[in-house]
Structure 1
Amino acid sequence: MATDATGSVDGPAGAARLRVLDPDAWDSWYDVLLRAFGGVPEAAEERELWRALTEADRSLGAWDGEECVGTAGAFSFRLTVPGGTSVPAAGVTMVSVAATHRRRGVLTGMMARQLADVRSWGWPLAVLTASEPEIYGRFGYGIGTRQLNLEADTRRVRLAVPPGTDDVRLRYAAPGEVLARCEALYARRVPLRAGMVERLPGWDRLGVLDPESEREGASPLQCVVAERDGEIVGYTRFHVKPKWEHAVADGTVIARDVEALDPAAYAALWRFLFDIDLTSRLIAHQRPVDDPLLHLVSDVRRLKPRERDALHVRLVDVGQALAARTYQGPVDVVLDVEDAFCPWNTGRWRLSGDTKGATCERTTEPADLALSVRELGAAYLGGVTLASLAGAGRVRELRGGALAEASVGFGPGGLAPWLPHGF
């Protein structure tokens, strides 16, 4: 496969030309994406939301003559990194290749062009959520965050709530009516945890998107807010799916969002969800791996926690990315980085930093650790240790003590990194 200066992708069965998305071609471009994911039409409100959120000038299409055969987009995100700073990141999205054009280098061509574009924008990171995790490692993405999916038998789990929980007032509210106040609360939470994304204008609508076709028999979206002295200090959005088995209620609560500013409000919201009448089951997906809920319940096994990959992280500019975060202990190491896909990153980088800041610059000094950019992506937000990657043979220690020093330094410095929603 090769990509020429005009953006064509050569393959064994012909060429597809890459070009920036023309907004007038969005429908045909998006239809290629939907077909690649099974071809089931979306509800009109969902399709229109994604049309509005698409950044055409940061999106690519692969065209075989007049036919669109590949798609790739990027959102202009800012991502929280360890230390609380938000860093520009390309939110890679809507990636697909028509089944008729597989194994022709279309995906590789789009990934190469996209990463070169991200570099030209001056952004240090690209991130994505993967439909198939095995795909993106070869393009330098490492799994940087994980999530928990929970499924609780609420009849057999009790919650031990902290002091002050009973002082929190809960009330139902129409999701749209309190959307702005809930978004303001979410924005206060973003700097507290690496991996969280600052939501741009329009993205608040994603939290209340509620097409009937996707409810699978559950209720319309409901919202309960937690208040103290008239201020919203937490909220949850959820569905209830009624069910009766031999005249016995056996409904399910499906929690979409639970956010709060303090432990008492957080516990009050979860207690509410566990106690909804006529239900015996609670499902909560995409929760942080260190969710405080795990410490509120009487029997964590009854939550049936299942872990899976979430945010895949790619350092587009190694020096800029590593200098943008802080480190949990003094770090002064020379990294020998391999990056075959983005060769501008290949070489030795001296990283010096601590809890106050960092620098990362090119050097000719002897290397202390050797690794690929994929391992740097996995470790970047602190959810994966360099020591564990070394145990798998993916990081090599070249100077005694360097691995321990760097592994501690790359930690998250508090809460585990977490991506609260997909894109």
Structure 2
Amino acid sequence: MTSRPSRHVACNRPNPPASASSGITVRSAESDSWDAWDAVIQHAFGEGWSPESRAAWDSLREPDRCLSAYLGTELVGTAGAYSFSMTVPGGAAQPVAGVTAVAVAPTARRRGVMRAMMRHQLHELHEHGREPLAALTASQPQIYGRFGYGLATWRMQLRARTGPGALPAAPAAAADVRMRLADPAEALPACRTVYDELLPSRPGLMARNDLWAQRQLHDPPAERGGASPLRCVLAEADGQVRGYAYYATKPEWGQEGPHGRTVVREVHALDPVTRLALWRYLFDLDLMSHLEVNGLAPDDPLLHQLTDVRAAKPSFMDGMYLRLVDAGRALAARTYAVPVDLVLDVHDAFCPWNTGRWRLTGDEHGARCERTTAAADVALGATELGSLYLGGMSAASLEGAARVIGLRPGAVARLGTAFAHEPLPLMAFGF
């Protein structure tokens, strides 16, 4: 199951042959009852949805990209995809299928239902040719390596003590940055402008259309856990919005006085001074003694700005899992940190059209990736390609784990240097 309920993967063509052989039928969900479809997801995830959450997810649904799996006449599985655009190394935007709502009814587990849906979905993506990449977040990470998805990004969670002195003194230029509280909905256009300007700067960032921008404001009272409504602060300079933060506060009191928490949902800024000014604002709210933030990149500058690094407790979790649907097209779509000319021997049992030798040539200006019969320099699988693609994982580490095999001296080192990217990739929102 992918993380948290969402939905939706195109499927108007005949099923891949493997589905019917196991008694499982996978087809478009467009003619199904959405109540029944959603019920499978809720049973699989062991949860119920509030009316507000149900309405929010329903507004994002792409019905023509939803799949249903049947055993006989019983609906037992769901899968879907969103139509996203994602930044890849080099700053270009590439179409990516945001795989979501992958769920199997508890009465049909270990019957091959998920495998049938994943195979159908990837075959459909390949035949359609629209998206060379597929991405997901995973509620159970051990599942998706079987289908060629590799861990491509980490996300950092941070809990830190707040108050005066938590961050360094503001530079002189910060005097020109003005903080202004704003209604989150009314500030949305300005916040979107900042986010959109930042998109090319970091691999993994996905563009937000109108519906996904509204999703960032989702804040039903039943899901606040005692915190305040969502708040927004804008950072302005010379009359222009240069950054913003979405956050909430949760007041708490004890015998020693207030020890509330500031819960940060998102911080983005167009320059380092504005970013520091926003964090100084968030670290210095009255009656709050701690700050919590989820979803930072592992190389986020905040860790280097804390005056006492021991006052913060960072932890790291897996973020985005990525799969190359069309290996040649995907590898040619990004740029490389240094000139590269390597032959990759790719093994992809789940998407056999990717299996074979590929000659990758390129540099910081562009790349080509074509089939070849030349001797290979490096051998690796689809999962490893997915991990390496955005530049956030180490080829040397994968070699040390016996997951990438160098066939010529120094080849893995050259591969790792070419694929690496700074800043590290980030998945800015879940789906």
What band does the TM-score fall into relative to the shorter chain? over 0.9
CA distance in 1 between partners of 2:406 and 2:307 (Å): 43
How far has the Cα of 1:56 moved from its partner? 1.2
User: Is the 2:164–2:284 Cα contact (8 Å) retained in structure 1?
Assistant: no
Pairs aligned (count): 416
Q: List per-residue Cα deviations over 1:371-401 (Å, max 9, x = no partner).
A: 1011111000000121211111111111122
Shift of 1:17: 1.8
1:52 to 51, 59, 68: 59
SS in 2 for 1:137: helix
Task: Map residues 279-294 of structure 1 onto 2, 5 A cutoff.
Answer: 279-294=288-303
Give the alignment partner of residue 74 of structure 2, picking from 67, 78, 92. 67
Is 1:77 matched with 2:113? Answer: no
* Corresponding residue number in structure 1 for 2:144: 136
SS in 2 for 1:176: helix
Q: State the secondary structure of the residue aligned to 1:304.
A: strand
RMSD: 1.6
TM-score by length of structure 2 reads 0.93
Q: Aligned runs of 1:32-181 on 2, under 5 Å?
A: 32-40=40-48, 42-122=49-129, 123-155=131-163, 158-160=166-168, 161-181=170-190
Structure 2 CA distance, aligned partners of 1:121 and 1:146? Answer: 30
1:193 maps to what in 2?
202
Partner deviation per Cα, 1:195-251 (whole Å, 9 max, x = no partner): 000112310111100011110100011111111122111110111001110161110
Q: Distance in 1 between matches of 2:15 and 2:215?
A: 37
In the TM superposition, what is the alpha-carbon distance from 1:22 to its structure 2 partner? 1.3
Corresponding residue of 1:354: 363
For the pair 1:331 / 2:334, whether they are aligned, the reply is: no
CA distance in structure 2 between the aligned counterparts of 1:331 and 1:114, rounded to whole angstroms: 32
> How far apart in 2 are the matches of 1:405 and 1:37?
42
| 1:384 counterpart (390, 393, 410) | 393
What runs of 5+ residues in structure 2 fail to find an aligned partner?
1-13
Are positions 1:265 and 2:274 aligned together?
yes
What is the Cα deviation at residue 63 of structure 1? Answer: 2.3
Give the aligned partner of residue 305 of structure 1: 314
Q: Would you say 1:255 and 2:264 are equivalent positions?
A: yes
Q: Distance in 2 between matches of 1:394 and 1:301?
A: 35
Among 204, 218, 223, the alignment partner of 2:232 is 223
Contact 1:62 1:71 (8 Å CA) reproduced: yes
Question: Does the CA-based 8 Å contact 1:162-1:267 persist in structure 2?
Answer: no
Return the offset for 1:322: 0.3
- By how many angstroms is 1:157 displaced? 5.8
TM superposition shift of 1:19: 1.1
Shift of 1:184: 1.4
Q: Corresponding residue for 1:20?
A: 28
Three-state SS of the structure 2 residue aligned to 1:177 is helix
Q: Distance in 2 between matches of 1:157 and 1:389?
A: 41
Q: Secondary structure at the match of 1:114?
A: helix
Matched, 1:369 2:415: no
Residue 83 of structure 1 aligns with an amino acid whose one-letter code is G
- Residue 204 of structure 1 corresponds to which residue in structure 2? 213
Q: In 2 relative to 1, CA 129–163 (structure 1 residues): closer, same or farther, beyond 3 Å? A: farther
Equivalent position amino acid for 1:218 in 2: A
User: What amino acid sits opposite 2:104 in the alignment?
Assistant: V
Return closer, same or farther for 1:338/1:6 CA change in 2, 3 Å cut-off.
closer
Alignment CA distance shift 1:168-1:301 (3 Å)? same
- Give, in angstroms, the shift of residue 155 of structure 1: 4.3
Alignment check: 8 A CA contact 1:53 1:203 kept: yes
Rounded to whole Å, the distance in 2 between the matches of 1:182 and 1:4 is: 42
Identity %: 50
Tell me how far apart the structure 1 counterparts of residues 416 and 317 of structure 2 sit (CA, whole Å): 22
Equivalent-residue separation in structure 1 for 2:171 and 2:402 (angstroms): 43
* 3-state SS in 2 of match to 1:34: helix
Change in CA separation of 1:107 and 1:157 when aligned onto 2, cut-off 3 Å: farther
User: Which residue identity lines up with residue 204 of structure 1 in the other structure?
Assistant: A
Matched-pair contact (CA < 8 Å) for 1:26–1:51: no
Q: Secondary structure at the match of 1:374?
A: helix
